[in-house]
Structure 1
C-alpha cells in the first residue's frame, strides 16, 4: 500500500536511508535528508506492507517553473527489483498529473539509479561529476507531461 508519510514514519525512513548507505547514498547525505523531512517536505509517500515500510519518495513543486521534482526515493534493499520502485514513481506521477499547472517532472539522481528512471520515461539532460559526494554523480533527468 502506498500512503502519505507521517511524522510517525520518520525513524523508519531514516532506517531505509541507512540500509541504502553507502551503496546508493553517501553517509553525509543523512543530514540533508533529515533537513528535507523537517523543512522541505511537500508531498512524501511511503510503501507499507505488513506494517513495514519498504520504500519512500517525495515530490517538491516549483510552480513558477511549472515543474515538479521527484525527490529522496529509496527502497529497502530486499524490496528492490520487485516492481515497488516503479509503483512508487507511477503513484507520484499520477498525483502530479492532478495538478494542471505542472508540465514537467524532473529527477536528480545518480549514476547508480538513472537507468531505472529511463525505464520510467525520464530523459537524461545533464551529468555533473561528484555532485552529491565523491563518487556520487548528479544525473539530471526530465519527463515532459504535455
Structure 2
C-alpha cells in the first residue's frame, strides 16, 4: 500500500471510487460536487495505491485566515473498507498537518454513517445538521486541535 499525491490522471479512478460508494455513503448528487472539487478546489489530495490500483482517496483544504484545515472527500473502495486503510490515510493527513504551524484546527464534515470513525481518530463532535448533504445524509461537524498547537501550550 502506497499513499501518494493525486495527479490529474487519477480523476477517473477517484470518481469510480465515489460511484462504488453511492448510495451507501454518498448521495448521487455529490458526484458533480466531487468533479468540481477535483477540477477547481483541490489543494492537497492523496490517493492510496495497492498493486497499481487506486483503492482510496482523501484531501485537505486550507483556510489560512481561520488557521484551519478541512480534511475532505475521504473515499475508500468497498472491498478495502474495514482493513485500516482509512485510518492510515487519515493519520497521513493529520501528520502532514501537524508539520504546518499555520494550522491550529483540523475540521472534518462527515455524516452519521462514519462520524464514529473520526471520533476514534480523536475528533470531537461539535454539531449535527439534519439532511445537510442530501435527504438522510446529515452533517456531523467535528474538530481536532493540531498537535503542534497542543505542544506549544
Question: Which bracket does the TM-score occupy, shorter chain normalised?
Answer: over 0.9
1:29-68 maps to which residues of 2 (within 5 A)?
A: 29-68=30-69
Supply the RMSD in Å over aligned alpha carbons: 0.5
The 5-angstrom pairing of residues 64-79 of structure 1 reads: 64-79=65-80
Spell out, residue by residue over 1:27-79, the C-alpha distance to the aligned partner (whole angstroms, 9 max, x if none): 00000000000110000000001011110000000110110000000100000
Following superposition of structure 1 onto structure 2, how do residues 43-122 of structure 1 map, counting pairs within 5 Å? Answer: 43-122=44-123
Q: What is the Cα deviation at residue 98 of structure 1?
A: 1.5
Unaligned runs of 5+ in 2: none
List gaps (5 residues or longer) in structure 1: none
4+ long deviations beyond 3 Å? none
Question: What is the number of equivalent residue pairs in this alignment?
Answer: 146
Whole-Å separation in 1 of the counterparts to 2:108 and 2:76: 16
Superposition TM-score, scaled by structure 2 size: 0.94
Alpha-carbon offset, residue 99 of structure 1: 1.1
How far apart are the structure 2 equivalents of 1:42 and 1:94?
16
Give SS of 1:111's match.
coil
